[in-house]
Structure 1
C-alpha cells in the first residue's frame, strides 16, 4: 500500500484531540524520576498499541515503515507535552493542539491513549492488590482454610475476597486521613480543591474507590526509550524526511531480476531436497549483488514454492554479509525448524548463534522449551526453562504446559503436579489435557493415589469426569492390583453415560486377573454381553495371559483363534504369554515357536518381559534357551534381578532333564 494516505493524515490540518476521557484525575508525583517512569510506561504502552493499529491499516508496510510512522506520531505527541499543554491531551473537549495531523489520526491517538490510561490504572490497582494478597493476615486465613479442607477455586476466591476487603479498608482509612489533614490545614484543602478542578493532581475518587492514573504535568525535554525506538534522539526526524520524499518508500523495492540471473533464480527454486544450493547461491550473488531486501524476496518465494530448500538457503544467508542478519532472523529460523520437529537443525542454528556471540532472545528460548518438551528431552527442556526465568521472564500458560507435559511424559508426574499448583497460584488457566496427562503418567507409574488426587483437582477446576480420565484411573488401580477400585471407576463410566471400550474392559479384567478372581471376571464379561457391550482383542489378550498362568492351555488356544477370525496377528504381549504357558507346560515345539517371535522382536522387550520369559524357560528345563535370552538381556543393558541370577545358577548346578536348542 502507498503511504500517501499516511502523509495526508499528517497534513490535513484538522482539529486535534488527545488523551483520556474527560474528567480523568491524575496522580501527583514527587520527583522527576517518577515522572520519567510514568512517562516511559505510558509511551511504551502507547507505542505497542499504536503499532498494532498501524499494522491493521497499512497491511503491506514492513517494520521500518511502521517504525517511521511511530516516530512521527509519538514525536508530535511528546512535542505537545514538552510545551506544557497537557490539559489538551487530558480533556477530550480540547479543540486544537496541533494542525499537523488529520482528524482521523488524532481520533485514533485519543482512543489509544484512553486505553493506555485505563491499562495503567488497572496495573496500579493490581500491584496494590498483590501486596494485600501477600500480607500475613490473608496468608494465615488461607492456611487455615486449607487445613479445614477448602481447596481449588473456592480457596482462590476466598483469598481474593479477603485481600479485596483489606484493600477497601486501607482505602477507607487513607480517605479519613486525608479528611483529617484537610480539616487541620485549610490552605491544603483549598489547594486540593483547585487541583481537583484542574484535573492535574491525584485524589481519591469516592464514586468507585479506585485511584486513576494519567500523565504527569511536565515541561521541558522528556527523556524516554521505548521497545528499541529511541524517540528522544533526532533519528525520528531523519526518518520522517525520508517518508516525505515524494514517490519514495523507506523500505526499497527488490531489484528487477532478468536474463541469466532470472535463470539462476529459477534453478534455485526448482532444487530438490538433497541438492546443495551453495553453488547456485554464489552465482546468484555474483550476478545480482543483492541487498537484504533481495534476499528476503528470494526467501519468501522459496517458502511458498519449495520449503525444503527454503531451510537450506535461510541457514546459508545467515553467513552472507549483504543479508545483515539479526537475532530475529536466527530466532525465526529456530522456530520454523522446531515447528517441523527438526530438532538437530534447530540446535545447529542455536550453536551458530553462540559461535557468533549472538545472545538468544526470549522467543528463541521459549521455542527451545516447547521443542525439547515435545521431543521428550526433559533435561534440555529444564535448562531452557531456567534460562527463561533467569532473564526475568514470567512463564505463561504455553510454557507451563510444555514443562508439565515434559515431566508427565518422562515419568515424573509429581514435579509436573507442582507446576500445576504454581499455575493455580498465579491464576493461570489450566487446560483439561494437562490434568489428563498427569493422571495418565501416575497410572503408568502404578500410583492410583496420585492419579485420584489429580482427578479431584480436575473436578475442582471445573472439568467433568470423562471416559479418558476414568480409563486412566482404572489402569492405575489395575496395575496396583486393586480390583475393587478399578471396578468402581468402571461402573462410574457407565453411570456417566459412556460406553466402555475394549481398553477399559481389558484393564478391569486385568485387575481381576491380578487377584485371580476368575468368577468376578467372567461375571463382568457375561453382564457386558447381556448389555450389548462387546469386548475385543485387548480383552482376549488379558484372558489368554490369565488362562495361561492357570495352565488352561486348551481354553487359551480357543481364545487365540479369535485373532485368526479377525485376520489380526497376536500382539507381542500374547506371544510372551504363550511362551510362558508352553514353557511351563514343557511343550517343546510351541515354546520354541513363541520364543522365535520374541527373539525377532527383542528390541521391543523390556526388562520385566525378559525376566518373565527366562524364568519360564528355566522352570520348563529349557536351560540353553534361557541362557541365550539372558545374554541377550544383559547385552541390551538390562540388569538381572537377584531372583533370576539365583535361579539360573541353580539350573546350571542341578541340570534339569530337558535341554532343547533351536
Structure 2
C-alpha cells in the first residue's frame, strides 16, 4: 500500500498541473483513474501473470478513454508506461491507435520507450508507427532512437516493409535526406549493412537526390565490408551526380585500400586528393607512412613524410617512431639516427593527440 500511495502522490500533481485539466471535472472520475492505475501496479508487484495484468491494464485504459470526455495525458501515459513494463506489444498497439484516434499525444520520452519495447520484440509495424510519431515531434531525435528502430528489422529478411517505410519518410519529412542518412547509418551500425545498402540502391533507382553525406556513409560501409570494386564504382559515380568528394570521402577510400595492401592505389588517390585542392590530414599521412614502412617500402614512407611537412602538417611522435623503427628494420641506421635527433630537437612542436581528431577541410580557392 505504501508503494501505491507513493504513485498516487506522483500522479495527482501531474494531473492537476496538466494544461488540459478541468477543475470542474468531478473528483470521482480523477480518483477512479488513479485508483485503477494504482491497482494495476499492485497487481504487477503481487502476481507473476503478466498476461492477466496486461488485460486488466488495457481494459481499465479503454474504460477511461470511453467514459472521460478529456482524459488526462498523464493518466494515459501511465497506462502506456505500465504496458511497456508488461512487454505486451499487441495491447500497446491498441492503446496507440485509440490515442491516435482521440488525437492524444504523449511525451517524446515515452514514445522512445515504446520504440525500445517494439524493437526488442522485432515488431516492425509498431516500431514504424512509433518512429513516425517521433519524427513528427518537435524534439531532436538522438542516434539511439535510430538504432532502436533499425534493430526491429534484425530478424526480417523481407525488405518490402522497410522500403515502404522509407518512401513514407521521404513524403512526410521536410529534412528527409538527413533522416534517411541517419537511417542508413543506423542499419549499418546495427550490423545490417545489406539493408543499409538496399535503401541506398532503392533511392538511386528512384532518382532521389542524395548528398555527400549519403555517399560517405555508403563508401564506409563498402570499405569496411571489403567490397572494394563496389566502393570504387560508387566513388566514381559521385561525379556523375555532381557531388564533389571531400576529405572524408578520400580518407575512407585511402584507408580501405590501405587495409587490403593496395598501396599503389593509395598513392593514386592521395595524388588526386591533393590535385583537387583537398588537404590530407594527419590521420591520412600517419596511416600511410606506417603502412608503407611496415610493407618494407621505406622510400615511399619517407616521401610521404616529406610531403606532409611541406604541407605544414606537424608530424607526431608516433610517426617519427614508426619511421625510425622501419628504417632500422631496413638496415638504414644512419637515416634512423638522423630522424631520432630531429624528433628530439622538435619535441615541443610535435602534433598532439587532439590533432588526430578529424577536422573539416576547406577546398582551396
- Identify the TM-score tier after normalising by the shorter chain: 0.5 to 0.7
Q: Is the 8 A contact 1:447 1:476 kept in 2?
A: no
Aligned position for 1:435: 250
Map 1:263-274; keep pairs closer than 5 Å.
263=75, 265-266=77-78, 268-269=80-81
Aligned length: 270
Measured in 2, the distance between the counterparts of 1:308 and 1:433 equals 34
Match of 1:256 among 50, 70, 83: 70
Partner-residue secondary structure (3-state), 2:153: helix
Deviation by residue 1:285-319 (Cα, 9 ceiling, x = unmatched)? 8xxx9352546513xx1x14573245437997956
Measured in 1, the distance between the counterparts of 2:156 and 2:309 equals 51
Q: Is the 8 A contact 1:478 1:511 kept in 2?
A: yes
**Structure 1 residue 521 displacement after superposition:** 2.2
Measured in 2, the distance between the counterparts of 1:343 and 1:311 equals 8
Bigger Rg, which one: 1
Q: Is the 8 A contact 1:376 1:406 kept in 2?
A: no
Q: Is the 8 A contact 2:320 2:343 kept in 1?
A: no
Measured in 2, the distance between the counterparts of 1:520 and 1:459 equals 28
TM-score by length of 1: 0.34
Match of 2:186 among 368, 371, 375: 371
Aligned position for 1:345: 151
Distance 1:341 1:429, change over 3 A: same
**Structure 1 residue 508 displacement after superposition:** 1.8
Aligned position for 2:167: 362
Q: Which runs of 5+ in 1 are unaligned?
A: 1-253, 537-662
Match of 2:336 among 507, 514, 521: 521
Measured in 2, the distance between the counterparts of 1:390 and 1:499 equals 44
Measured in 2, the distance between the counterparts of 1:283 and 1:375 equals 29
Aligned position for 2:23: none
Partner-residue secondary structure (3-state), 2:268: helix
Match of 2:100 among 277, 280, 292: 292
Q: Is the 8 A contact 2:146 2:186 kept in 1?
A: no
Measured in 1, the distance between the counterparts of 2:288 and 2:269 equals 10
**Structure 1 residue 437 displacement after superposition:** 1.3
Distance 1:427 1:280, change over 3 A: closer
Q: Is the 8 A contact 2:289 2:323 kept in 1?
A: yes
Q: Is the 8 A contact 1:331 1:360 kept in 2?
A: no
Measured in 1, the distance between the counterparts of 2:76 and 2:297 equals 70
Match of 2:267 among 452, 455, 460: 452
- 2:284 corresponds to 1:479: no
Measured in 1, the distance between the counterparts of 2:142 and 2:95 equals 25
**Structure 1 residue 484 displacement after superposition:** 1.4
Measured in 1, the distance between the counterparts of 2:103 and 2:158 equals 20
Q: Is the 8 A contact 1:271 1:309 kept in 2?
A: no
Aligned position for 1:276: 87
Match of 1:422 among 233, 237, 251: 237
Q: Is the 8 A contact 1:442 1:450 kept in 2?
A: yes
Partner-residue secondary structure (3-state), 1:290: helix
Measured in 1, the distance between the counterparts of 2:216 and 2:242 equals 14
**Structure 1 residue 523 displacement after superposition:** 2.8
Deviation by residue 1:569-597 (Cα, 9 ceiling, x = unmatched)? xxxxxxxxxxxxxxxxxxxxxxxxxxxxx
Match of 2:113 among 308, 333, 337: 308
Q: Is the 8 A contact 1:505 1:535 kept in 2?
A: no
**Structure 1 residue 267 displacement after superposition:** 5.0
Measured in 1, the distance between the counterparts of 2:258 and 2:100 equals 54
Measured in 2, the distance between the counterparts of 1:264 and 1:318 equals 21
Map 1:69-218; keep pairs closer than 5 Å.
none
Q: What RMSD over aligned residues (CA atoms) do the two structures have, in Å?
A: 4.7
Q: Is the 8 A contact 1:475 1:486 kept in 2?
A: yes
Q: Is the 8 A contact 2:317 2:343 kept in 1?
A: no
Q: Is the 8 A contact 1:337 1:343 kept in 2?
A: no
Distance 1:373 1:479, change over 3 A: farther
Measured in 1, the distance between the counterparts of 2:260 and 2:325 equals 16
Deviation by residue 1:4-57 (Cα, 9 ceiling, x = unmatched)? xxxxxxxxxxxxxxxxxxxxxxxxxxxxxxxxxxxxxxxxxxxxxxxxxxxxxx
Distance 1:255 1:387, change over 3 A: farther
